[in-house]
Structure 1
Amino acid sequence: MPLQELLTQIEHALAPVRHVMKPILSDPLVMGIWALFVLASVGVLWWDVRNHNQALPSMMKGVWTLVVLYSGPFGLAVYWYSGRTQISRDSLWRRGFRSTAHCYSGCGAGEVLGFALLAGLLALQSTSIVTAGTFALAYIFGYALTVGPLMQEGVGFREAMFDALYSETPSITIMEIAAIGTDLLIASQAHISGLLFWGALVFSLSVGFVFAFPINAVLVHFGVKEGMKNPAEMGQSQPKGQEQAAD
């Protein structure tokens, strides 16, 4: 079956999703309430990091900030479950969530930049060019978050790049197929000045996270990815007064 025919069939099958989500994601009241939830979630995150989780590395503080900016209360819940130094015990699920969040922060930045620049500011009409460009930026940003820290630890560029390609490509690919596909399904004709453009972009990011999580959990389970360090180990040196049990 030709690829174009397959994509057309998928689009027709998911048409009910588009009909439901378009009016929701273009509703000023709904998106305004969502924006307030996001701001409140970021405020809670920063309060918690400042008062209880200063031990987290600067990179992870940035990762969690982006995750919560992209996904609001959902991102905050992921942080609370898997990213705080107060977690009672680590697990495959928590490691999978942290690994997905790390990938998500970089790929999300690439996706936002790709759609905003190519489909928005440059107003490119070719869906294939916008899609390819956004995919490329998502891969670049996603790989950079792995290559950069490895090189800071003294790993050579070639080895760091090979490690990123080997460990990150499956999850980035699944994440972006889901995210970009969702965005195009809902708002392929939306303009950057329209609320639907941004609403669909935000929604698509969270869809990408959901699809990428099981892939990351499997990769962590089989040792393809190490998973991010257990934050509880970072918090062991904190004063007892700052420690809280959380599960």
Structure 2
Amino acid sequence: MQVDAAVARVERLFEPARELLVPVLSEPSVLAGWGVVVAVTLTVLWWDLRTHNQAIPSLMKAVWTLTVLYSGPFGFAVYWYAGRTQIPEDSLGRRGFRSTAHCYSGCGAGEVTGILLAGGLLGLAVGWVAAATFGFAYLFGFGLTVGPLVQEGVGLREAVVDAVYSETPSITVMEVVAIGADLLLAAEAAITDPLFWGALAFSLSLGYLAAFPVNVALICAGVKEGMGNPAQMA
């Protein structure tokens, strides 16, 4: 009962935002326009990576591709500010943006997988959708951290321990915000509804914004190193 009451209070608190956003995100023309914008932005990203930033490792190229795929121009702006070899100097903010993008790329893939399976295809209850989506997001984000560490020669046990304490806070905040926003906006939407996809895209970017200060704090505390300075790869 206490959980239901808390959920009801949250829904009432964000009802004005829901009333504003749901009609917009439900418009097929808005979804189609967003798809075009993302496609153009991805094309520009790949051109820049191929033409000016070939020195960036393949993993980070994949990270930036997924970040732009999820967040379009916002993701590209993050790449331009923090991810290119042409940045004038590195900074805590740029390290935070790169670290968040790394987490975001894996968690976003997991979230999309979870929402599609649990909500879109299986039609599970809201609680199960949230749990399954969080599980997929954590698994994907966790794997994207452990895998590269093992490839670099770090032992599996050490890599797992490092991933647990360095990624859990960021993943948790990102997914609580993203999943919560998505369910608030489109809990009843079917996979064929524009709102299903519009709310998913919108909520992903909210998750990134929520996780950014967490990653900055983790870097400041020495828990995370942040991704390497791309300017040093040129």
Q: Establish whether TM, by shorter chain, passes 0.5.
A: yes
Q: In the alignment, what sits opposite 2:166?
A: 167
Q: Does 1:222 align with 2:221?
A: yes
- Write out aligned runs for 1:44-55 (5 A): 44-55=44-55
Deviation at 1:209, TM superposition (A): 0.3
CA deviation profile, 1:4-31 (whole Å, cap 9, x unmatched): 2122101110011111111111111211
Residue of structure 2 in register with 1:137 after alignment: 136
Which residue of 1 is the match for residue 112 of structure 2?
Answer: 112
Q: Distance in 1 between matches of 2:5 and 2:225?
A: 39
Q: 1:232 matched to which residue of 2?
A: 231
Q: Which residue of 2 aligns with 1:153?
A: 152
Q: Deviations over 1:191-230 (max 9, x none)?
A: 0011100110010000000100011011111111000000
Task: Describe the superposition over 1:161-198 as per-residue Cα deviations: whole angstroms up to 9, x where unpaired.
Answer: 10000100001000000000000000000000111001
Q: Aligned partners of 1:76 and 1:226: how far apart in 2?
A: 23
- Which stretches of structure 1, 4 residues or more, deviate above 2 A after TM superposition? 1-4
What residue identity is the alignment partner of 1:232? Answer: A
Q: Distance in 2 between matches of 1:4 and 1:161?
A: 35
Match of 2:25 in 1: 25
> Which amino acid in the other structure matches residue 90 of structure 1?
D
Unpaired runs of 5+ residues, structure 2, are none
**Amino acid paired to 1:93:** G
Give the Cα–Cα distance (whole angstroms) in 2 for the partners of residues 200 and 128 of structure 1: 18
User: How many residues matched?
Assistant: 234
SS of residue in 2 equivalent to 1:43: helix
Please name the residue that 2:42 is paired with.
Answer: 42
- TM-score, normalised via structure 1 length: 0.93
What is the root-mean-square deviation in Å for CA atoms of aligned residues?
0.9
Q: 2 CA distance for matches of 1:7 and 1:197?
A: 20
Amino acid at match of 2:114: G
CA distance in 2, matches of 1:68, 1:101: 10
